[in-house]
Amino acid sequence: MASSNETDRGPASGDATGRVLVVDDEPTVSEVVAECLERAGSTVQRAAAGTSATCPR
């Protein structure tokens, strides 16, 4: 459920930083996506399935 709290909305428009949860059952795919996001300045957490995914805080 989305929060209306300003700090929970993520980065401002045009800002490449933020927190991202990458969920994919293919380790290679999630690794590549996570690496690209980290290079852009995001903090990344990975999960292999939706049932094990938790939103980074």
Tokens for 23, please give them: 């969920």
State the pLDDT at residue 14: 56
Q: Is 45 exposed, middle or buried (0-12, 13-18, 19+ CB in 10 A)?
A: middle
Residue 21: pLDDT band (50, 70, 90) is: very high
Q: Residue 53 contacts by C-beta under 8 Å, 6 or more apart in sequence?
A: 21, 23, 47
Residue-wise pLDDT for 28-44, tens only, equals 999 999 999 999 999 99
- Concatenate the DSSP letters of all residues of the chain into one string: -----GGGS-SPTT---EEEEEE-S-HHHHHHHHHHHHHTTEEEEEESSGGG-----
